[in-house]
Structure 1
Amino acid sequence: MINGPNFVKGFRVTKVKEFSLTKPKPRTIPVPQKIPTQKPHQPVPESTYRSPKEQEVLQGKKLTNRQKAEELLIEANMEQFKCANPEKSEKTKRVLSEIMREEDNKMAFNKVKVQHAPMKVDNVPVRLNAAAILRERALYQRQVEEELSRIEKLVDGARDPSEFLEWQRQMHARDLEKQLADIECRRLEGKLSREEALLARQNLIQENKKKALIKKEETEKLMRVYAEKRLQEEKEMRDLVEQVSEGHKNTKQARMKLQKYKQQIVQEVAEESRELLRQALEEAQEELRKKFELIREIRAMESVPFIRQTLVDLTQTAGHGLNCEMSIVELRERLALLKEAERKAEEEKRDQILEEKQLKQQHLLDTLEQISLHRAAQAKAAVLRLEEKKSKSQLGKAAIANNDRVTELQRKLEEKMTERKRQAEALKLNAQRSTSKSCKNSYEEKHWKELEESRERQAQLLQYGVVSGETANRMAAYQAARNGTSQAYVMPS
């Protein structure tokens, strides 16, 4: 057994096989994306190429407002102030226009676009809320009741007040005519007083001119006296300056004393400042020590531990032994029930309010129909009253024109106006004459002054021997010929 042949049992060998994890998967074919289709193009609206209707309405409003403004301007210019003539003179208008032009040129660099004034609406629309509708309904109802009561009284046998009203209307018309006549008289009296005031002003101007001439002569005398006085004062001032210069020589000793006194004051101030600095340093050190002590106490308080968590059971009561005591959970449930009850009550109340509102709107619509009928009737009555008023105003103007007092005042006013214009023309002629005369006098004064100055220069040149006598004579002759005068004399050589 031992020396016999050995048979070896065969073993299964493990074969290595590669992992298939690293093999790439085949790429999937991508699904083609859906090409988006655009929605059909909407055509451009026609309003894009049209100007908005609001602009046309605004332009129409602006045009009507401008026409109204021009009519008012024409009316205001035709019917100006009744008591006076406010027209300015041509010179005043020219000066005002020049001033306005200068101001506009100054402000031209900072022009700002001015916002247009808001459009003025003649008939402002009234907001028809419930209160306004009910008030107007009550007004018309009261008028209807008054008319019914008046008719009932007439049926019962009461007297018709139409005769009394007609008499009252006639008296009112008579009083109105009288008032208009008085107003016209006051207007004419005002214009008459203005004309008298203008005449008085012209007379005052003439008196002031005479006073101005007298004042000018007095001023010339005073100026001569002032010149003499000024020369005397200059002489006294020179004497005073000499005295002051002598007094300056004795100020050196006083200056030395003042310097010593100032040095002593500086030393005292320096000692006081050192003492104050030492006290301030001690106070600062004491304050710093207190701050350090306070910081130390705060840090010690912060180092103490603090319990932040508290455990609360919401289902338990507080345990105070009260009859109405309950837990937080029970409280929340009761609050939820209470909110639900309040919500139901609010819904019921909302439904009731809506029903009442509908009834009220229907009532207001019925009221508006009645009001429109009343307004139409009142508009017709207003047209009739306006026609009657126009006829009365025409009659009143005719009565004023036939008033004797008004015609007399107009005659006096015309006389005063003619007298004032005549005096104004006379003053204008006098002013032109005085202006021409003053210009002529000033020209003659200038001419003689230039002639005197030239003769003085010639005399100085002859005195210093700069020119000869013959040359001086020729210069004087040339100057006299240029000034249009004959040679008065010949300078001696």
Structure 2
Amino acid sequence: MDTQTRHIELVIQRLNQFNPENGNIGNFLGESAHILQTSKVKNETFLMDILAGCIEFKPLLDVVVSAFYSRDGKNCLLSERNLYIVVCYLAIFQLEELGLQEFGRIIKSMNAPKICKFLRFFFNRMNLSTWIKDEWNQIYASDYVNNWIKPLLRWQPKVQQLVVEFDDKLHRFSVATSKITKPKEFNLTIPNPRAILIPELIPHQEKTKPIPALTYKIPKLGQKLEQIKSKNRRKAEELLLEANMHQFRCAAPKFDHKNHIAMEILKPEKKFQAQKIKGKIDSIPVKLNATTILREGVLYQRKVEQELNRIEHLLRGARDPSEFLEWQKQMREKDLDQQLTEEECRRLQGKLSYEEAIVARQNCVRENQKKAEQEREMEEVMNHHCEQRQLKELKARQKNVQQVTEARKNVKQARMKLQKCKRQIAQEVSEESQEILARAFKEEEEKVRKRCELIQQIRAIEYVPSIKSKFVDLTQTPNHGVLGEMSIVELQERLALLKEAQKKAEEEKRDQITHEKYLKEQLLLGTLEQISVFREQMGRAATLKQEENKIKKPLRETIRKDKRILDLQEKIEEKSMQRKIPPGSSQNKSETFNKDAKRSWISQKRCKQEEHWRKLEESQKEHFKMLQHGFMSRELARKMAENEAMITGTSSCIVQPPHLVTKHHGNPSYGHFHRLTEGV
């Protein structure tokens, strides 16, 4: 019994080691045959048949075992799966050869209750005739399946009887459970009662401080924030209501190109009314930084240059912008026409795209129908190919069965060949290992010899006496053969010289920095003086401008009344009076006299205004000269002189440096103040 269990356990172990994906079946069977020979098994061929059969009919046996685990064997271990596969193989293929008695002995040798449970499930007539048969038909041909199931149905009552016998024996020989021993209590002496403890004095608790009232009050800052939030929310809601009320006021305006142009022509031109700019004068003195001072000076110089460039540009002959405005109007009209044509094109393009989309959809439907027909044809072809492939697979399986049967016959020859090959390999490995060991032994001997020599040398060096004290000459060079070698004394002297040179360089740098600071301060002071002069001039210019604006206000009203307009108005009045009053009346003479007086008064007023404007222009020219003297370079001054000469028609003076012109008309400082024009 023990030998049978050991043999079947060997088969189960080999099945556990088998991996169909990585290993070859022929090599695996050869290895297992060699293992069985080494273990000196008597019925070697029987065990090899079981192993080969379990591998060959694995899908057939897996159907039964997996169904057992899913239904009756839910509490069984998965590690015992190969045990049930072996029992299933014996029941299907080896039951008639073994007989019922031998089959019963094998079951007794293994775990009897578990195997009985499996056999009760497998030899159920209902299971065999229904789902097991159907599952096997999917894997193998129906003829083979019928040949396997008929003997199983024939053996079914006998196997069921055998299972019942095993169950009875197990119940009969069940060991009676012994009574549980109940331990008795120890007879111990009763302890003395515990002494009553004296209660400790409870300490007097101090009164707790009351909670301050501020902890439960909401802080004022939070209340203010909530009030602000509520106000903001109300404002937002009001704005939202207004937006909802007037949301589609400008959503889709109807734009008519021709009417728009007509309305623009009929509309009277709006009068431009400029707002007064009240300049705030900062009387507080501000401390300026160096960068701000320089920046302001550059800014004022740039302003002067811009003003000069503007005047020069006007003198060269700048055009009136009316032509440009007319051209701009025409271009806008063209743009509007283009926009309208583009909108029409877009509309037509939208219609065209809609039509194209309908045609494309129809084409897409047709293509889909064609594709569906092609797919149906492809499915039919694929089904035909699958049927042919299944037939080929069946033929290949039959060939494999024949090959396996032939391989069983040639197992002994394969074993002999394997043994010979393994012996040869073992001899070669042993020879190689001996050679490697000999080499390693020689290498270790050489290492040991070298170590001994080194130890002897070190000991000899240790025995030699060493001189501890050594005289050092600081003036002597070491003579190591390095570039720039020197003694310690020379090195110290050189270091001292370097320190002195560094100190001198630092002092020079310090002097240079102080000199640069002084120059910078002088430059800043000069720029500040220039800025102050420029600001004074700008203030004067602003005051002059304010006076001009005050004077211009009554003049603007007279300018608006043009000569032609007044003449036309007078003529209209005359015509209306002539139409209303008959000729020969005395009133006509008085009216004509009043009109002549009015015209003479207007001409006198105009003469006064022209004189006033001329005086203003002269004062501005003088002011401009002062600015030029304070800020402009020589080239800018020359440009300005040429421009004014072109305006006034006078010749410009040549600007000379101060060192060349010392005396002129009794004025020694004439070279410093260059004159722009002779006529002004």
Which category of TM-score, normalised to the shorter sequence, fits these structures?
Answer: 0.3 to 0.5
TM-score (norm: length of structure 1): 0.36
The higher relative CO (CA closer than 8 Å, separation ≥ 6) is in 1
